[in-house]
């Protein structure tokens, strides 16, 4: 179990992974308003508490980072590379490269890799075509996705910093986890 200090440090490390850019040929770290806006589109709004359990939006970012299926800013080409050769049903969720604030689910169906957008408004539901889900965890569970694509740098960074062994696949559907991640 993480102490409050450890939890906060982990949360800020995760936020830093999303926000900070390093200009070429410098050791400076830069956060742009553009990047901050993008993060709010994916994980916002910022409110206290953002989630009914009392967790903050930083906790939500960290919880998502802990999932082996979350691949963040992985582009379509890299998603293809990571999924190639994996069994049917293997999937990842990543940020959409074309629509800010939306996600993409990349998955293998049969022998074909498919990419499907997940529309999302800050603080709102997640939509694929005409289907609506309160959380990404619900989307995964209700669509029967069970085989995450390993290799997420976000998952690896969080677990490394927490000195936590890499767990088996956590779908996030456990009642306790769902309560932590479900928004109204």
Q: Can you give the residue range of the structural domain that contains 80?
A: 4-21+28-179
The pLDDT score that the predictor gives to residue 103 is: 95
Task: Name the band, by pLDDT with cuts 50, 70 and 90, for residue 145.
Answer: very high
In a domain, residue 60? The reply is: yes
Core vs surface per residue 98-118: b (16+ CB within 10 A) or e:
eeebbbbbbbbeeeebebeeb
Q: How many CB atoms lie within 10 A of CB 13?
A: 16
The mean pLDDT value for 29-53 works out to 78
Q: What's the rounded mean pLDDT across residues 11-30?
A: 86
Q: Is residue 184 part of a domain?
A: no
The pair of three-digit structure tokens given for residue 130, joined into one six-digit string: 């005409």
Q: Is residue 66 part of a domain?
A: yes
- Average pLDDT for the chain: 82
Residue 62's CATH number: 3.30.505.10
132 in a domain, yes or no?
yes
CA angle 123, 170, 176 (to 5 degrees): 60
The pLDDT of residue 19 is 86
Predicted pLDDT of residue 162 = 61
Cβ neighbourhood burial of 59 (10 Å; 0-12, 13-18, 19+): buried
147-181 pLDDT, tens per residue? 999 888 888 877 766 655 444 444 443 333 333 33
Residue 96 lies in a domain: yes
Average pLDDT over residues 137-149: 94
Lowest-confidence region among 7-21, 65-79, 99-113, 169-183: 169-183
The verdict on residue 161 lying in a domain is yes
Domain count of the fold of the chain: 1
| Domain membership flag for residue 72 | yes
Average the pLDDT over 19-33 and give the result: 86
pLDDT per position as a tens digit, 80-133: 999 999 999 999 999 999 998 899 999 999 889 999 999 988 888 999 989 999
Query: What is the average per-residue pLDDT within 6-31?
Result: 86
Structure tokens at 150: 């390993």
Mean pLDDT for the stretch of residues 67-81: 94
For residue 43, is it within any domain? yes
Cα-flanking dihedrals φ and ψ of residue 44, to 5°? -75, -175
The mean per-residue pLDDT over the stretch 139-148 comes to: 94
Mean pLDDT in residue range 52-72: 85
């Amino acid at each position: 179990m993480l102490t409050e200090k450890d939890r906060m440090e982990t949360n800020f490390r995760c936020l830093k992974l999303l926000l900070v850019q390093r200009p070429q040929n410098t050791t400076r770290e830069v956060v742009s308003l553009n990047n901050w806006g993008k993060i709010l589109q994916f994980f916002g709004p910022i409110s206290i508490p953002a989630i009914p359990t009392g967790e903050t939006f930083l906790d939500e970012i960290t919880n998502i980072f802990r999932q082996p299926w979350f691949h963040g800013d992985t582009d379509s080409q890299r998603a293809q590379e990571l999924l190639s050769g994996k069994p049917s049903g293997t999937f990842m969720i990543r940020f959409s490269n074309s629509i800010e604030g939306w996600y993409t689910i990349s998955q293998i169906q049969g022998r074909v890799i498919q990419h499907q957008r997940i529309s999302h408004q800050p603080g709102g539901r997640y939509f694929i075509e005409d289907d609506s889900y309160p959380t990404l965890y619900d989307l995964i569970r209700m669509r029967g996705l069970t085989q995450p694509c390993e290799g997420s740098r976000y998952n690896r960074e969080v677990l490394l910093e927490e000195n936590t062994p890499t767990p088996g696949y956590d779908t996030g559907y456990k009642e306790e986890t769902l309560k932590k991640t479900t928004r109204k």
